[in-house]
Structure 1
Amino acid sequence: MAVTLPASVFDRFRKFSRFNSPYPAHHEGCAIDLYPDGETGISPVAGVVRQTRTVGCPDRPYAADEDHLIVVELDDDWCRRAGAEPGTLARILHVVPEVSPGDRVAVGDSLGPLTRSGFFGRWVDDHVHLGFRPPGANALRASGSLPVDVDVPVEPMRWGGTGTVAERGPTHVVLDAPTHPAPGRRFAALASDDGVPLDGGLAHYAGGGAFDALADGTALSLWGTRVGVARGRGVAWEPVDVLANGERVVGLSLFAARDGGFGAKIVCPDGRFELGESVSLALVPSDDPIRLGVG
């Protein structure tokens, strides 16, 4: 049984993704990352905090060496609206808990400050990770999450792949295109050639997804190149390279967003592109595609 996040939850977040991660729960469509404005970890669920736990994470010079888990037993009303069994548990990561077992939280409440986890790639923005477990399950184990669906429409954005660098980080740049069709009013995502809004790390993670339901075996293309095939709840990426001005980069970071500064995020750890530089993207088949793991 899938847990379907109600549309009202997304009013608190500026972007979200189910598949833009190398971790198994995301690859299987069993987790979602929610990006709030600011540095506060906002609760996407309502219920009672049952456990908190601090865990070690990979040693990264740009990130904390600890992460945190908050387990919430969901209220019956929240479960009813989400199509979940009463007693379903929510697992929330990447927030330093300022709540304790026994505390009641509502959607939109502060759980604590976001933390820059060592589980992130350097180009990943701070966010709230959310997954669910059936009633009575061991919520501390890393496996066993339920499928996650979303009850919010995502508008497909067609884009030719050209833009100007508007933001530059140590391992990524953001372009000034594509332009969001209705900033602040609805979510949108980069669309395939057939108008399917895409999700995930193209193609630096082995699998991605889409914000539309797809029949198994549905082929997807972008800029005239076949990029993936629908498999189960996600999309298996084809072996392709992303080229920026003719040079191979790590990939494209795909998500649904509603803020005006949407922009394509190009993952390029050598930071070769400068502010104001024009960039043209292309996709080509590859016999040695970049694939990032979880190490």
Structure 2
Amino acid sequence: MPGAPTDGEPVEEAVRIPPGVIERYRRFSRFNSPYPAHDRGRAVDLYPGDGVGRSPVAGVVRDVRTVGCPDRSYAAAEDHLIVVDLTDDWCARAGAPPGTAARILHVIPEVSPGDRVAVGDALGPTTRSGFFGQWVADHVHLGFRPPDADPLRASGSLPVRADVPVEPVEWDGTGPVVERGPTHVVVAGPRRAKSGPDFAALASDEGAPLDGGLTHYAGGGTFAAPDPTGEAARHDRAADGACVSLFGTTVGTRIERPGEPEVGRVEWAPVDVRANGERVVGLSLFADRGERFGVKVVCPDREFAVGESVTLDVVPSDDPIRLGVG
């Protein structure tokens, strides 16, 4: 089966981001990006909310690089890569092999090679990178490379798992617009459970918290839901090929390959997202700490006024919107 290891080939273990790291950020996502590392659950985006790119890892800065970005009128012409050699203690907490390196993007570096950084240290301000869409908020991209890999290359990152529970929020798809940007609006969802975990995400019809660009990016995923007996994260062990649905329509299938780490991948089905009956680009989904859950609707060609009522639905499509890289 594709993705399964051959005899004698080691199985990659997922790097587990400790709860104390994730909880320093306003929101996070593993799949809300068109880039291959996110599509395969091998990176996480951490949204600080205050414009400061704080370190999610502890270690010593190995390298700092500046790279050119795709030309976007709303974005900077350059992006930046910070490579950090992780401490053995951080690796042990995350289940990563000693010698693992972290790759951090979208932060203007105020650190240099040789600097020692701890979790929560300011690395520099976040930057509006041309590598993500105009509706995407500033964030810190985090990935990991094994000890024998070149950390400057974009491919070859380790699988990533976020071990924090995310409350699945059920919603009927109707609510008022509470925020408007140049290419998106946020539609208010229901209030969250007061006794629930810190983070919440839109629930599928099956009760799984959803992650990713539905369905403008080819791949999405699910978060770990709270364990029914407590607040611990419980990763959904749905079978490969199991259907994922939203608002009564199948929107994707689970991808769980034998021999691969469980990362909650979903391959989106060919569907369209509609707002008040007209097609929009899609839904930008992530785990959020807000008291009232909101859904970001990507709609560069539609205008909705703040306070206007919007009803979302999903329908099968012969020509679904898919946004590529670049």
Report TM bin, short chain.
over 0.9
Q: 2 CA distance for matches of 1:114 and 1:92? A: 11
- How many angstroms apart in 2 are the aligned matches of 1:170 and 1:257? 21
**Cα drift, residue 259 of structure 1:** 2.0
Distance 1:183 1:9, change over 3 A: farther
Q: Is the 8 A contact 1:189 1:198 kept in 2?
A: yes
Q: Distance in 2 between matches of 1:231 and 1:179?
A: 31
Give the Å deviation of 1:184. Answer: 9.6
Q: What is the one-letter code of the residue matched to 2:117?
A: V
Paired AA for residue 256 in structure 1: A
1:189 equivalenced with 2:201 (yes/no): yes
Preserved contact between residue 183 and residue 260 of structure 1 (Cα < 8 Å): no
For 1:225, the equivalent position in structure 2 comes to: 249
Is this contact kept in 2: 1:178–1:264, CA < 8 A?
Answer: no
Q: Residue 136 of structure 1: CA displacement? A: 3.1
Aligned to 1:274: 305
SS at match of 1:273: coil
- Preserved CA contact (<8 Å) 1:21 1:27: yes
Structure 1 residue 94: Cα displacement: 0.1
Match of residue 168 from structure 2: 156
Contact 2:252 2:266 in 1 (8 A): yes
The residue that corresponds to 2:119 in the other structure is 107
TM superposition outliers: structure 1 runs of 4+ over 6 Å = none
Structure 1, unpaired ranges of 5+: none
Aligned to 1:237: 268
Residues 241 and 253, structure 2, Cα contact 8 Å, conserved in 1? yes
Choose which of 36, 40, 47 in structure 2 pairs with 1:35.
47
| Post-superposition CA distance 1:159-191 (Å, at most 9, x none) | 000110111000000012133334995111100
Distance change in 2, residues 1:97/1:182 (3 Å): farther
1:257 aligns with 2:288: yes
TM-score normalised to structure 2 length: 0.88
Secondary structure of the structure 2 residue equivalent to 1:121: coil
Query: How many pairs are equivalent?
Result: 295
> In 1, distance between residues paired with 2:195 and 2:149?
40
User: Once the two structures are superposed, what CA deviation does each residue of 1:243-276 show, in whole Å capped at 9, x if it has no partner?
Assistant: 1000100000111111225310000002411111
Q: Which moved more, 1:130-139 or 1:88-97?
A: 130-139
Alpha carbons of 1:9 and 1:132: their partners in 2 closer, same or farther (altered >3 Å)?
same
Residues in 1 aligned to 2:72 and 2:291: alpha-carbon distance in whole angstroms: 31
The AA in structure 2 aligned to 1:225 is T
Q: Which residue of 2 aligns with 1:169?
A: 181
List aligned pairs for 1:127-166, cutoff 5 A. Answer: 127-166=139-178
| 2:276 and 2:312 in contact (8 A); partners too | yes
* 1:26-105 aligned within 5 A: 26-105=38-117
What letter is aligned with 1:227? Answer: V
- Give yes or no for contact 2:190–2:292 (8 Å, CA) kept in 1: no
Does structure 1 conserve the Cα–Cα contact (< 8 Å) formed by 2:165 and 2:197?
no
After superposition, give the CA deviation of every residue in 1:32-89 in whole Å (9 maximum; x if it has no partner).
Answer: 0000120100110000100000000100000001000000000101000000001100
Q: Answer yes or no: is the 8 Å Cα contact 1:198–1:211 preserved in 2.
A: yes
RMSD: 1.3
